[in-house]
Structure 1
Amino acid sequence: MLTGLSWLALEVKYLERAREFYEETLGMSVRTRRDDPSEVVVVAGDTDLVLRRPDGFPRGGVHTHYAFSIPDDEYDEWWDRLSADYDLEEAQFGDARSLYLYDPDGNCVELGQQGVDGPGIDGLFEVVLEVEDLERSQAFYTDLGFETVNVGDDRKRVRMQGPMALELWEPHLGIADARGGVHVDMGFETSEPVQALEAVSNRIQRVDRIDDETVVVRDPDGHVLTFAI
Protein backbone atom coordinates (compact mmCIF):
# COMPACT_ATOMS: atom_id res chain seq x y z
CA MET A 1 0.00 0.00 0.00
CA LEU A 2 2.73 2.46 1.02
CA THR A 3 5.74 2.07 -1.26
CA GLY A 4 8.29 4.58 0.02
CA LEU A 5 9.14 7.22 2.61
CA SER A 6 9.13 10.58 0.86
CA TRP A 7 10.10 12.79 3.78
CA LEU A 8 10.64 13.10 7.49
CA ALA A 9 10.33 16.60 8.98
CA LEU A 10 12.22 17.82 12.07
CA GLU A 11 11.61 21.00 14.04
CA VAL A 12 14.74 23.14 14.44
CA LYS A 13 15.32 26.44 16.23
CA TYR A 14 17.95 27.84 13.89
CA LEU A 15 18.00 26.80 10.25
CA GLU A 16 21.59 27.77 9.58
CA ARG A 17 22.90 25.86 12.58
CA ALA A 18 20.94 22.75 11.57
CA ARG A 19 21.96 23.14 7.94
CA GLU A 20 25.63 23.33 8.92
CA PHE A 21 25.39 20.08 10.88
CA TYR A 22 23.81 18.10 8.06
CA GLU A 23 25.76 19.70 5.22
CA GLU A 24 29.22 20.01 6.77
CA THR A 25 29.32 17.41 9.53
CA LEU A 26 27.38 14.69 7.69
CA GLY A 27 28.30 15.75 4.14
CA MET A 28 24.74 15.79 2.82
CA SER A 29 23.28 17.75 -0.07
CA VAL A 30 21.06 20.60 1.07
CA ARG A 31 18.60 22.84 -0.73
CA THR A 32 16.43 25.74 0.41
CA ARG A 33 12.79 25.71 -0.62
CA ARG A 34 12.02 28.85 -2.60
CA ASP A 35 8.34 28.68 -1.72
CA ASP A 36 9.02 28.37 2.02
CA PRO A 37 12.04 30.14 3.56
CA SER A 38 11.22 28.54 6.94
CA GLU A 39 12.37 25.14 5.64
CA VAL A 40 15.60 23.56 4.44
CA VAL A 41 15.61 20.17 2.74
CA VAL A 42 18.42 17.65 3.24
CA VAL A 43 18.71 14.82 0.71
CA ALA A 44 19.12 11.26 2.04
CA GLY A 45 18.91 8.94 -0.95
CA ASP A 46 15.27 8.81 -2.02
CA THR A 47 14.04 10.48 1.19
CA ASP A 48 14.06 14.17 2.10
CA LEU A 49 14.86 15.28 5.63
CA VAL A 50 12.95 18.54 6.10
CA LEU A 51 14.36 20.99 8.66
CA ARG A 52 11.52 23.27 9.70
CA ARG A 53 11.27 26.36 11.86
CA PRO A 54 8.33 26.23 14.34
CA ASP A 55 6.33 28.83 12.42
CA GLY A 56 3.11 26.94 11.81
CA PHE A 57 1.49 23.54 11.33
CA PRO A 58 2.31 20.79 10.78
CA ARG A 59 5.31 21.11 13.08
CA GLY A 60 8.36 18.97 12.55
CA GLY A 61 9.17 16.23 15.00
CA VAL A 62 10.86 17.01 18.30
CA HIS A 63 13.61 14.78 19.84
CA THR A 64 13.06 12.30 17.01
CA HIS A 65 15.29 9.25 16.69
CA TYR A 66 15.90 8.16 13.10
CA ALA A 67 18.56 6.27 11.15
CA PHE A 68 20.55 7.00 7.99
CA SER A 69 21.97 4.24 5.76
CA ILE A 70 25.71 4.17 5.09
CA PRO A 71 27.85 1.68 3.11
CA ASP A 72 29.29 -1.15 5.19
CA ASP A 73 32.89 -0.33 4.32
CA GLU A 74 32.57 3.35 5.33
CA TYR A 75 31.63 2.69 8.96
CA ASP A 76 35.11 2.89 10.46
CA GLU A 77 35.84 6.10 8.54
CA TRP A 78 32.64 7.69 9.86
CA TRP A 79 33.47 6.61 13.41
CA ASP A 80 36.99 8.00 13.28
CA ARG A 81 35.89 11.32 11.83
CA LEU A 82 32.85 11.95 14.05
CA SER A 83 34.42 10.72 17.29
CA ALA A 84 36.86 13.63 17.16
CA ASP A 85 34.03 16.05 18.01
CA TYR A 86 31.14 13.91 19.29
CA ASP A 87 30.66 11.48 22.15
CA LEU A 88 29.47 8.56 20.03
CA GLU A 89 27.71 5.40 21.10
CA GLU A 90 27.72 2.13 19.18
CA ALA A 91 25.33 -0.81 18.85
CA GLN A 92 25.60 -4.13 17.01
CA PHE A 93 22.63 -5.67 15.18
CA GLY A 94 23.68 -9.04 13.82
CA ASP A 95 26.57 -8.31 11.46
CA ALA A 96 25.72 -4.60 11.16
CA ARG A 97 27.00 -1.79 13.35
CA SER A 98 25.40 1.58 14.07
CA LEU A 99 26.78 4.72 15.63
CA TYR A 100 24.71 7.36 17.41
CA LEU A 101 25.13 11.10 17.87
CA TYR A 102 22.89 14.12 18.44
CA ASP A 103 22.14 16.99 16.09
CA PRO A 104 21.99 20.60 17.40
CA ASP A 105 18.27 20.28 18.19
CA GLY A 106 18.48 17.11 20.24
CA ASN A 107 17.46 14.58 17.60
CA CYS A 108 19.27 11.24 17.95
CA VAL A 109 20.87 10.50 14.59
CA GLU A 110 21.90 6.93 13.83
CA LEU A 111 24.29 5.99 11.01
CA GLY A 112 23.93 2.29 10.31
CA GLN A 113 25.54 -0.22 7.96
CA GLN A 114 22.88 -1.09 5.39
CA GLY A 115 24.79 -2.35 2.36
CA VAL A 116 23.92 0.73 0.28
CA ASP A 117 26.10 1.99 -2.57
CA GLY A 118 26.93 5.43 -1.17
CA PRO A 119 29.20 7.21 -1.13
CA GLY A 120 28.19 8.68 2.21
CA ILE A 121 24.64 8.74 3.56
CA ASP A 122 22.38 6.97 1.09
CA GLY A 123 18.90 6.65 2.55
CA LEU A 124 16.82 6.85 5.71
CA PHE A 125 15.91 3.40 6.99
CA GLU A 126 14.25 3.88 10.38
CA VAL A 127 12.02 6.31 12.27
CA VAL A 128 10.97 6.07 15.93
CA LEU A 129 7.65 7.52 17.10
CA GLU A 130 6.54 8.07 20.67
CA VAL A 131 3.05 6.66 21.25
CA GLU A 132 0.69 6.47 24.20
CA ASP A 133 -0.76 3.03 23.54
CA LEU A 134 1.39 0.44 21.76
CA GLU A 135 -1.46 -1.88 20.79
CA ARG A 136 -3.53 0.96 19.37
CA SER A 137 -0.66 2.33 17.28
CA GLN A 138 0.45 -1.13 16.19
CA ALA A 139 -3.05 -1.85 14.89
CA PHE A 140 -3.10 1.48 13.03
CA TYR A 141 0.17 0.86 11.19
CA THR A 142 -0.72 -2.77 10.55
CA ASP A 143 -3.76 -1.52 8.65
CA LEU A 144 -1.38 0.58 6.53
CA GLY A 145 0.58 -2.54 5.56
CA PHE A 146 3.40 -2.51 8.13
CA GLU A 147 4.34 -5.91 9.57
CA THR A 148 5.42 -6.47 13.16
CA VAL A 149 9.00 -7.73 13.41
CA ASN A 150 9.34 -7.97 17.17
CA VAL A 151 7.95 -6.67 20.42
CA GLY A 152 10.30 -5.54 23.18
CA ASP A 153 9.66 -6.19 26.84
CA ASP A 154 12.06 -4.00 28.78
CA ARG A 155 12.10 -1.18 26.20
CA LYS A 156 8.30 -0.95 25.80
CA ARG A 157 8.46 -0.89 22.02
CA VAL A 158 7.16 -2.50 18.82
CA ARG A 159 9.34 -2.76 15.71
CA MET A 160 7.53 -2.86 12.38
CA GLN A 161 8.65 -3.07 8.75
CA GLY A 162 7.11 -1.33 5.75
CA PRO A 163 8.59 1.25 3.38
CA MET A 164 11.17 1.64 6.17
CA ALA A 165 11.60 0.31 9.69
CA LEU A 166 9.15 1.94 12.09
CA GLU A 167 9.55 1.69 15.85
CA LEU A 168 6.70 2.61 18.17
CA TRP A 169 7.87 3.47 21.69
CA GLU A 170 5.96 4.21 24.81
CA PRO A 171 7.91 6.98 26.60
CA HIS A 172 11.34 5.73 27.66
CA LEU A 173 15.03 6.17 26.86
CA GLY A 174 16.53 3.83 24.27
CA ILE A 175 20.04 3.30 22.97
CA ALA A 176 22.13 6.47 23.42
CA ASP A 177 19.26 7.82 25.57
CA ALA A 178 17.20 8.34 22.41
CA ARG A 179 13.49 9.12 22.62
CA GLY A 180 10.68 8.59 20.18
CA GLY A 181 9.63 11.70 18.27
CA VAL A 182 6.51 13.69 19.11
CA HIS A 183 4.27 15.43 16.53
CA VAL A 184 6.35 13.85 13.75
CA ASP A 185 5.48 14.73 10.14
CA MET A 186 6.11 11.99 7.55
CA GLY A 187 5.22 11.67 3.88
CA PHE A 188 4.64 8.33 2.13
CA GLU A 189 4.52 7.38 -1.52
CA THR A 190 1.51 5.36 -2.64
CA SER A 191 -0.42 4.76 -5.83
CA GLU A 192 -3.74 4.89 -3.92
CA PRO A 193 -3.89 7.69 -1.32
CA VAL A 194 -7.63 7.32 -0.78
CA GLN A 195 -7.27 3.57 -0.29
CA ALA A 196 -4.69 4.23 2.43
CA LEU A 197 -7.17 6.58 4.11
CA GLU A 198 -9.96 4.02 3.91
CA ALA A 199 -7.74 1.41 5.57
CA VAL A 200 -7.38 3.51 8.72
CA SER A 201 -10.45 5.74 8.60
CA ASN A 202 -11.85 4.35 11.87
CA ARG A 203 -8.56 4.90 13.75
CA ILE A 204 -7.38 8.41 12.75
CA GLN A 205 -7.73 11.57 14.83
CA ARG A 206 -8.80 13.59 11.81
CA VAL A 207 -8.34 14.24 8.08
CA ASP A 208 -6.50 17.46 7.24
CA ARG A 209 -6.68 17.16 3.44
CA ILE A 210 -8.12 14.85 0.84
CA ASP A 211 -8.07 14.90 -2.97
CA ASP A 212 -7.29 12.44 -5.76
CA GLU A 213 -3.53 12.64 -5.32
CA THR A 214 -2.91 13.61 -1.68
CA VAL A 215 -4.38 12.66 1.68
CA VAL A 216 -3.15 14.10 5.00
CA VAL A 217 -4.26 12.55 8.29
CA ARG A 218 -3.35 12.55 12.00
CA ASP A 219 -2.59 9.13 13.48
CA PRO A 220 -3.90 8.17 16.97
CA ASP A 221 -1.04 10.10 18.64
CA GLY A 222 -1.26 13.21 16.47
CA HIS A 223 1.62 12.39 14.11
CA VAL A 224 0.95 13.87 10.67
CA LEU A 225 1.00 11.40 7.79
CA THR A 226 0.75 12.34 4.11
CA PHE A 227 -0.15 9.75 1.49
CA ALA A 228 0.67 11.07 -1.97
CA ILE A 229 1.18 9.85 -5.51
Structure 2
Amino acid sequence: MLTGLAWLALEAKYLEPAREFYEERLGLTVRERGADELAFEAGETDLLLRRPDGFPRGGLHTHYAFSIPESEYDDWWERLGREYELEEAQFGPARSLYLYDPDGNCVELGQQDVAGPGIDGIFEVVLEVEDLDRARAFYEDLGFETVDEGDSRKRIRLHGPMALELWEPHLGIADARGGVHVDLGFETADPGAALEAVRDRVQSVVRESDEEIVVRDPDGHFLTFTERPR
Protein backbone atom coordinates (compact mmCIF):
# COMPACT_ATOMS: atom_id res chain seq x y z
CA MET A 1 0.00 0.00 0.00
CA LEU A 2 2.77 2.44 0.98
CA THR A 3 5.66 2.13 -1.43
CA GLY A 4 8.29 4.56 -0.17
CA LEU A 5 9.27 7.10 2.47
CA ALA A 6 9.05 10.49 0.75
CA TRP A 7 10.20 12.60 3.69
CA LEU A 8 10.95 12.86 7.37
CA ALA A 9 10.53 16.31 8.93
CA LEU A 10 12.38 17.45 12.06
CA GLU A 11 11.96 20.63 14.04
CA ALA A 12 14.98 22.95 14.12
CA LYS A 13 14.99 25.91 16.47
CA TYR A 14 17.59 27.67 14.33
CA LEU A 15 18.18 26.62 10.73
CA GLU A 16 21.81 27.66 10.35
CA PRO A 17 23.33 25.33 12.99
CA ALA A 18 21.12 22.55 11.66
CA ARG A 19 22.21 23.25 8.08
CA GLU A 20 25.85 23.23 9.10
CA PHE A 21 25.50 19.86 10.83
CA TYR A 22 23.66 18.11 8.02
CA GLU A 23 25.41 19.73 5.08
CA GLU A 24 28.96 20.17 6.33
CA ARG A 25 29.27 17.30 8.83
CA LEU A 26 27.09 14.68 7.18
CA GLY A 27 27.51 15.74 3.57
CA LEU A 28 23.85 16.10 2.60
CA THR A 29 22.89 18.35 -0.31
CA VAL A 30 20.40 21.16 0.25
CA ARG A 31 17.69 20.61 -2.37
CA GLU A 32 15.47 23.53 -1.41
CA ARG A 33 15.92 26.47 0.94
CA GLY A 34 13.12 28.59 2.42
CA ALA A 35 12.82 31.14 5.19
CA ASP A 36 11.52 28.56 7.66
CA GLU A 37 12.46 25.21 6.11
CA LEU A 38 15.38 23.38 4.54
CA ALA A 39 15.03 20.25 2.39
CA PHE A 40 18.01 17.92 2.13
CA GLU A 41 18.45 15.00 -0.25
CA ALA A 42 19.01 11.73 1.60
CA GLY A 43 18.91 9.20 -1.21
CA GLU A 44 15.31 8.77 -2.34
CA THR A 45 14.00 10.47 0.82
CA ASP A 46 13.96 14.14 1.78
CA LEU A 47 15.04 15.24 5.24
CA LEU A 48 13.14 18.42 6.11
CA LEU A 49 14.28 20.80 8.84
CA ARG A 50 11.49 23.10 9.87
CA ARG A 51 11.33 26.01 12.29
CA PRO A 52 8.41 25.85 14.77
CA ASP A 53 6.22 28.29 12.89
CA GLY A 54 3.03 26.37 12.22
CA PHE A 55 1.56 22.93 11.63
CA PRO A 56 2.61 20.32 10.85
CA ARG A 57 5.62 20.80 13.06
CA GLY A 58 8.67 18.66 12.58
CA GLY A 59 9.47 15.94 15.09
CA LEU A 60 11.15 16.59 18.41
CA HIS A 61 13.93 14.38 19.85
CA THR A 62 13.38 11.93 17.00
CA HIS A 63 15.62 8.90 16.65
CA TYR A 64 16.12 7.87 13.03
CA ALA A 65 18.74 6.11 10.91
CA PHE A 66 20.60 6.97 7.72
CA SER A 67 21.88 4.23 5.39
CA ILE A 68 25.59 4.23 4.55
CA PRO A 69 27.61 1.70 2.53
CA GLU A 70 29.24 -0.98 4.65
CA SER A 71 32.70 -0.08 3.37
CA GLU A 72 32.43 3.57 4.51
CA TYR A 73 31.65 2.90 8.17
CA ASP A 74 35.20 3.18 9.54
CA ASP A 75 35.79 6.42 7.68
CA TRP A 76 32.59 7.90 9.09
CA TRP A 77 33.58 6.80 12.60
CA GLU A 78 37.03 8.31 12.33
CA ARG A 79 35.81 11.60 10.87
CA LEU A 80 32.84 12.18 13.18
CA GLY A 81 34.72 10.90 16.22
CA ARG A 82 37.02 13.91 16.05
CA GLU A 83 34.15 16.24 16.95
CA TYR A 84 31.40 14.14 18.54
CA GLU A 85 31.07 11.60 21.31
CA LEU A 86 29.88 8.58 19.37
CA GLU A 87 28.22 5.38 20.50
CA GLU A 88 28.19 2.11 18.60
CA ALA A 89 25.84 -0.84 18.37
CA GLN A 90 26.02 -4.06 16.35
CA PHE A 91 23.02 -5.81 14.77
CA GLY A 92 24.20 -9.13 13.40
CA PRO A 93 27.01 -8.30 10.97
CA ALA A 94 26.02 -4.63 10.63
CA ARG A 95 27.35 -1.78 12.77
CA SER A 96 25.74 1.56 13.54
CA LEU A 97 27.10 4.73 15.07
CA TYR A 98 25.02 7.27 16.99
CA LEU A 99 25.38 11.00 17.58
CA TYR A 100 23.12 13.97 18.25
CA ASP A 101 22.25 16.89 16.01
CA PRO A 102 22.01 20.49 17.34
CA ASP A 103 18.31 20.05 18.19
CA GLY A 104 18.67 16.84 20.19
CA ASN A 105 17.66 14.31 17.55
CA CYS A 106 19.52 11.00 17.82
CA VAL A 107 21.04 10.36 14.39
CA GLU A 108 22.15 6.84 13.49
CA LEU A 109 24.42 5.99 10.57
CA GLY A 110 24.10 2.28 9.87
CA GLN A 111 25.68 -0.16 7.46
CA GLN A 112 23.18 -1.08 4.77
CA ASP A 113 23.23 -2.56 1.29
CA VAL A 114 23.30 0.80 -0.52
CA ALA A 115 25.49 2.17 -3.27
CA GLY A 116 26.46 5.51 -1.75
CA PRO A 117 28.75 7.29 -1.76
CA GLY A 118 27.83 8.78 1.61
CA ILE A 119 24.36 8.80 3.09
CA ASP A 120 21.96 6.99 0.78
CA GLY A 121 18.51 6.85 2.35
CA ILE A 122 16.68 6.68 5.66
CA PHE A 123 16.06 3.12 6.80
CA GLU A 124 14.47 3.60 10.23
CA VAL A 125 12.29 6.09 12.10
CA VAL A 126 11.18 5.80 15.74
CA LEU A 127 7.83 7.19 16.90
CA GLU A 128 6.78 7.59 20.52
CA VAL A 129 3.31 6.16 21.14
CA GLU A 130 0.99 5.85 24.12
CA ASP A 131 -0.38 2.39 23.42
CA LEU A 132 1.75 -0.14 21.51
CA ASP A 133 -1.10 -2.43 20.53
CA ARG A 134 -3.21 0.43 19.21
CA ALA A 135 -0.31 1.88 17.23
CA ARG A 136 0.72 -1.51 15.86
CA ALA A 137 -2.79 -2.28 14.61
CA PHE A 138 -2.95 1.13 12.92
CA TYR A 139 0.32 0.72 11.03
CA GLU A 140 -0.29 -2.93 10.18
CA ASP A 141 -3.48 -1.82 8.45
CA LEU A 142 -1.30 0.49 6.34
CA GLY A 143 0.74 -2.52 5.24
CA PHE A 144 3.54 -2.65 7.81
CA GLU A 145 4.49 -6.05 9.26
CA THR A 146 5.61 -6.65 12.84
CA VAL A 147 9.03 -8.31 12.88
CA ASP A 148 10.23 -7.87 16.47
CA GLU A 149 8.89 -7.13 19.94
CA GLY A 150 11.32 -5.82 22.52
CA ASP A 151 11.92 -7.91 25.64
CA SER A 152 10.65 -5.08 27.82
CA ARG A 153 7.40 -4.75 25.83
CA LYS A 154 8.17 -1.06 25.43
CA ARG A 155 8.88 -1.22 21.69
CA ILE A 156 7.76 -2.93 18.50
CA ARG A 157 9.60 -3.02 15.19
CA LEU A 158 7.72 -3.13 11.90
CA HIS A 159 8.89 -3.36 8.30
CA GLY A 160 7.30 -1.46 5.43
CA PRO A 161 8.72 1.26 3.18
CA MET A 162 11.35 1.53 5.93
CA ALA A 163 11.75 0.10 9.42
CA LEU A 164 9.28 1.75 11.78
CA GLU A 165 9.84 1.41 15.52
CA LEU A 166 7.02 2.22 17.92
CA TRP A 167 8.21 3.03 21.42
CA GLU A 168 6.38 3.70 24.62
CA PRO A 169 8.35 6.42 26.46
CA HIS A 170 11.79 5.09 27.40
CA LEU A 171 15.47 5.61 26.60
CA GLY A 172 16.97 3.40 23.91
CA ILE A 173 20.50 2.95 22.58
CA ALA A 174 22.54 6.14 23.08
CA ASP A 175 19.69 7.38 25.31
CA ALA A 176 17.57 7.95 22.21
CA ARG A 177 13.86 8.71 22.50
CA GLY A 178 11.01 8.20 20.11
CA GLY A 179 9.90 11.32 18.28
CA VAL A 180 6.78 13.30 19.11
CA HIS A 181 4.57 15.06 16.51
CA VAL A 182 6.74 13.57 13.75
CA ASP A 183 5.79 14.43 10.15
CA LEU A 184 6.23 11.55 7.68
CA GLY A 185 5.43 11.51 3.97
CA PHE A 186 4.64 8.18 2.31
CA GLU A 187 4.50 7.47 -1.41
CA THR A 188 1.54 5.40 -2.56
CA ALA A 189 -0.27 4.72 -5.82
CA ASP A 190 -3.62 5.20 -4.08
CA PRO A 191 -3.81 7.78 -1.27
CA GLY A 192 -7.55 7.19 -0.91
CA ALA A 193 -7.07 3.49 -0.22
CA ALA A 194 -4.52 4.29 2.50
CA LEU A 195 -6.99 6.67 4.14
CA GLU A 196 -9.86 4.19 4.01
CA ALA A 197 -7.71 1.54 5.72
CA VAL A 198 -7.41 3.71 8.85
CA ARG A 199 -10.06 6.44 8.56
CA ASP A 200 -11.96 5.24 11.64
CA ARG A 201 -8.86 5.65 13.86
CA VAL A 202 -7.13 8.83 12.74
CA GLN A 203 -7.31 11.84 15.04
CA SER A 204 -8.23 13.99 12.07
CA VAL A 205 -8.08 14.29 8.30
CA VAL A 206 -6.12 17.50 7.84
CA ARG A 207 -6.29 17.75 4.05
CA GLU A 208 -7.73 15.53 1.34
CA SER A 209 -7.36 15.59 -2.44
CA ASP A 210 -7.03 13.02 -5.20
CA GLU A 211 -3.22 13.23 -5.15
CA GLU A 212 -2.45 13.83 -1.47
CA ILE A 213 -4.07 13.15 1.89
CA VAL A 214 -2.77 14.34 5.26
CA VAL A 215 -3.92 12.76 8.53
CA ARG A 216 -2.91 12.64 12.17
CA ASP A 217 -2.42 9.16 13.56
CA PRO A 218 -3.76 8.09 17.00
CA ASP A 219 -0.70 9.60 18.70
CA GLY A 220 -0.76 12.90 16.84
CA HIS A 221 1.93 12.18 14.25
CA PHE A 222 1.31 13.72 10.83
CA LEU A 223 1.17 11.26 7.92
CA THR A 224 0.91 12.31 4.28
CA PHE A 225 -0.13 9.78 1.66
CA THR A 226 1.02 11.15 -1.68
CA GLU A 227 1.30 9.93 -5.25
CA ARG A 228 3.30 12.92 -6.33
CA PRO A 229 7.04 12.44 -6.95
CA ARG A 230 9.55 14.45 -4.93
* TM bucket normalised to smaller: over 0.9
Q: CA deviation at 1:32?
A: 3.2
- 2: CA distance, partners of 1:150 / 1:196: 24
Aligned residues: 227
- 1: CA distance, partners of 2:153 / 2:26: 29
* Matched residue, 1:228: 226
Aligned residue runs from structure 1 range 173-188, under 5 A: 173-188=171-186
Q: CA deviation at 1:210?
A: 0.8
8 Å Cα contact 1:155/1:172 also seen in 2: no
- 2: CA distance, partners of 1:225 / 1:31: 22
Q: CA deviation at 1:147?
A: 0.1
**2:9 alignment partner, SS class:** strand
When the two structures are superposed, what TM-score results if normalisation uses the length of structure 1?
Answer: 0.98
8 Å Cα contact 1:63/1:107 also seen in 2: yes
Aligned residue runs from structure 1 range 61-100, under 5 A: 61-100=59-98
Q: Structure 1 stretches (4+) deviating beyond 6 angstroms?
A: none
Q: Structure 2: where are the runs of 5+ without partners?
A: none
**2:177 alignment partner, SS class:** coil
* Matched residue, 2:31: 31
**1:79 alignment partner, SS class:** helix
**1:17 alignment partner, SS class:** helix
* Matched residue, 2:139: 141
Aligned residue runs from structure 1 range 42-191, under 5 A: 42-154=40-152, 156-191=154-189
When the two structures are superposed, what TM-score results if normalisation uses the length of structure 2?
Answer: 0.97
8 Å Cα contact 1:65/1:181 also seen in 2: yes
Per-residue CA distance 1:85-128 (angstroms, 9 max, x = gap):
11100000010000000000000000000021000000000000
Amino acid across the alignment from 2:27? G
- 2: CA distance, partners of 1:31 / 1:160: 29
- 1: CA distance, partners of 2:101 / 2:32: 19
Per-residue CA distance 1:172-206 (angstroms, 9 max, x = gap):
00000000000000000000000000000111111
> What root-mean-square deviation, in Å, do the aligned CA atoms of Structure 1 and Structure 2 show?
0.8
* Matched residue, 2:14: 14
- 2: CA distance, partners of 1:23 / 1:168: 28
- 2: CA distance, partners of 1:55 / 1:208: 17
Q: CA deviation at 1:155?
A: 6.0
- 2: CA distance, partners of 1:146 / 1:32: 30
Identity of aligned residues (%): 75
Q: Structure 1: where are the runs of 5+ without partners?
A: none
Q: CA deviation at 1:154?
A: 2.1
Q: CA deviation at 1:142?
A: 0.3
- 2: CA distance, partners of 1:155 / 1:31: 39
